[in-house]
Amino acid sequence: MKKEMISFFLNGESIEVYADPASSLLHLLREKLDLYGTKEGCGQGECGACTVLLDNLPVNSCLIPVGKVKNRTVLTIEGLSVGEEYHPLQKAFVEEGAVQCGFCSPGMIMSAYALLKQNPQPSAMEVKRAISGNLCRCSGYKQIETAVAAAAEKLKAEGDSG
């Protein structure tokens, strides 16, 4: 498809990019905008490694045509940290050993981030459901679930004290 100028909000900033509206958001992020945090796993919406938030909801960026994000808000893993300061979810993933090969981590964290925004104190089952669209082939999920719960605690404590 012919390229056109597409503007949207990416990680809090308004951007304009000249791109094919029928190409995938994933490829735009990785190949044109140099945001390599979002991973390409299956490329078919099965693994969740490419999860980003579109208007605050997790979606598979490999299945999103760029034309769909016009004037909308996209948040990627790069948008979570503030400068050198990592987000509590990112820290919890490191501290709880939830990262082994690391390929699923950005997608997992984005799904978990969307959950905690909507539901700051999720039950164990709600955490499982929130990451049910993200495959991990190393960890067995346990440490990931623990990390999400730990981050929820931390965020709550920060909220209470702040």
Partner 1 sequence: MSYLVAENLEQALTMLQEAGKGSRIIAGATDLFLQELPANLIDINAVPEMLVISETEYSLEIGAAVTHTAASQSSLICAKATALAEASAQVGSPQIRNIGTIGGNVVNAAPAADAAVALVALGAKAVIINSKKIMREEPVENLYRHYNQSTIESGKEMIIKFMIENNAGILGSAFLRFAARQSLCLPMVNAAAWVNIENDLLKEVRLVLAPVKPAPTRLKETEKRLIGAPLTAETWRLAGDAATEEVTVRGSLLRCSAQYRRHLVGVLAERVIAKAVKAACERKEGEQR
What whole-number distance in Å separates Cα of residue 70 and Cα of residue 105? 27
Write down the least CB distance from residue 149 to partner 1, Å: 18
Choose, by CB under 8 A, the member of 2, 12, 13, 18 that binds partner 1.
Answer: 2
Q: Which stretch binds partner 1 (CB under 8 A): 28-36, 80-88, 128-136, 152-160?
A: 128-136
Write down the least CB distance from residue 151 to partner 1, Å: 18
* Residue 67 touches partner 1, criterion: CB under 8 A: yes
Instruction: For partner 1, give the closer residue by CB, 97 or 137.
Output: 137
Q: Which residue has the tokens 């034309």?
A: 67
* Residue 51 touches partner 1, criterion: CB under 8 A: yes
Whose CA is closest to 116, among 83, 162, 147? 147
Write down the least CB distance from residue 15 to partner 1, Å: 18
Which residues have C-beta within 8 Å of that of residue 39, sequence separation ≥ 6?
49, 50, 103, 104, 106, 107
Please give the structure tokens belonging to residue 139: 């960890």
* Residue 81 touches partner 1, criterion: CB under 8 A: no
* Residue 135 touches partner 1, criterion: CB under 8 A: yes
What whole-number distance in Å separates Cα of residue 119 and Cα of residue 6? 32
Q: Which residue has the tokens 């995938």?
A: 24
* Residue 76 touches partner 1, criterion: CB under 8 A: no
* Residue 125 touches partner 1, criterion: CB under 8 A: no
* Residue 75 touches partner 1, criterion: CB under 8 A: no
* Residue 54 touches partner 1, criterion: CB under 8 A: yes
Task: Please name every residue paired with 55 in a beta bridge, in sequence order, or none if there are none.
Answer: none
Distance between start and end Cα atoms, the chain = 49
95 neighbors 149 (Cβ within 8 angstroms): no
Q: Write down how long the chain is.
A: 162
Interacting residues toward partner 1 by CB under 8 A:
1-2, 4, 21-22, 24, 44-46, 48, 51, 54, 57-60, 63-68, 70, 111, 129-130, 132-135
